[in-house]
Structure 1
Amino acid sequence: MEDKDLTLNEAVKIINSYFPDDKPLFVVDGNKFKASSSDWRERLKLKEMETGYLKMERIIVTKDVTMEDIAKRIQYFTDRANEIHVLISKDKAQAKREYIKLCEEQNSEYNELTLAQNKQIVNSLGALRAYRGYFGHLHFIKNTYDNLSWNLGEFSQGQSWFNVFGKDIED
């Protein structure tokens, strides 16, 4: 990477270029750098997740997990799958790489839910049983370019099951 000295205005312009449809994230007022709105942190975090720089926190198997936590995590998987699906038309190879990362992420969490050491807590907490059920409704087929849309769609299918049946699982 080439070293380059940027002015404050140039640096802010580069950052704001990632928010083309929104108002700018930051502004320069005189010689001061400041946020353009009070929601800048939330907007930046959403952009980081959207671009794959930030993954939503994984669910840790504890008695404190709520159905709301599970719903948010499932929404993350669905949103990320939808973003990757859009990428297929622009860069199929990159979309496949991103799908593989997402699939590995969900495999890791499903593995945690099925470990013998976690069996008692997962079986005793409705939210974790629902989360395990969500993963049980993901049916991926051979990982090829032709199957990429199908496999990404499985995240929405699993979320549909969760929204209809999973949210009603009680402790």
Structure 2
Amino acid sequence: GSYARDSYGRLTGVLVDEAAAHVLSFAPPAPLTARLEAAHAASRAAAKVGATLLCDMTDISVPQEMAFADLQDVYASAASQSLLSTRVFAYAPLSQRAKLAALVKSKGYTDSTGMVSWGGLKAFFDGSLGSRSALFDAPYEGEDAEEGNAGLNVTSIAHIKAEARAGAEAGLSLAVHAIG
């Protein structure tokens, strides 16, 4: 990630992609009760419009270990407390492949309530269009063109391939964020 700067080189406060995770690493995580309430509210809102399944594709802006822990700490707990109005399929960050494989090996792909499932890994190949960090062959137009900004490669293809192979051997699926 990177920290956006204005034409004078001053920080603008805009955090590009993984820079948000770096900054957030200095803030305490939201308490479990707040994360449970958020899961409950999201599930209720989705059910109101007819959704029966939510997919949590993981969040690059939170510590990877926390994103994985939410599989059980938040979703399984919410399900056991009957706080979910929809089923949830939760992806784990690519970096948590070994932990997810161990979870699948020990518990299978679904929690005891049947409301929460897992077994997918999420990889981030590049950034996003909004922050002009999606990876392209040529620089973005405007100021970015002058700086040669063609986007940001978050994870190498070689690393994604290696993790995908290891994940497939463990019965895990892979979703890749790739915009450019």
Tell me the TM-score normalised to structure 2 length.
0.29
Which protein has the bigger strand share?
2
Which structure has the larger Rg?
Answer: 1
Which protein has the bigger helix share?
1
